[in-house]
Structure 1
């Protein structure tokens, strides 16, 4: 999985490529989040605007990243959620737990 990382002041923006799947490299997202948390970053945005497909492992990576961030007093926000990805997350009832936004990272106010 291609994962773009941008640090904007005290916010880390992570932008995965078109797929969040086992075949695309399962560890990139969680490794990036854990590394950022280790450096003291507590505001993380996962920009999903390019993601077209997600499998159960991708969902698991998002949940694990969300829980790790929250356990350390941080906040992880998913933005740019398309209808396909939103449907998958809603089917798993994760829309009740995750902070999901349709807008892009530039619209998030901390």
Structure 2
């Protein structure tokens, strides 16, 4: 997030959830190993190239962590949220942008 998407590391929050793989299937087949990465960024703050590079590097990181058994259908999702629809510390991203201007 910091190196590719230029996000502040000190404001990057991470939640890791584990699930029993007997509840995870791909193509109707149970898998022994699975992962899914879902990130949120403010809409318009990253180029298509940056998002593509993030997806590539995130997949590579997951592959290095989980090994060759990680299924091809391991999704990395970049959700773009409008600046007025999210924030932290009681302020929306839009309010922060306006205050900085």
TM-score (norm 1): 0.30
TM value normalised by structure 2: 0.32
The structure that is strand-richer by fraction is: 1
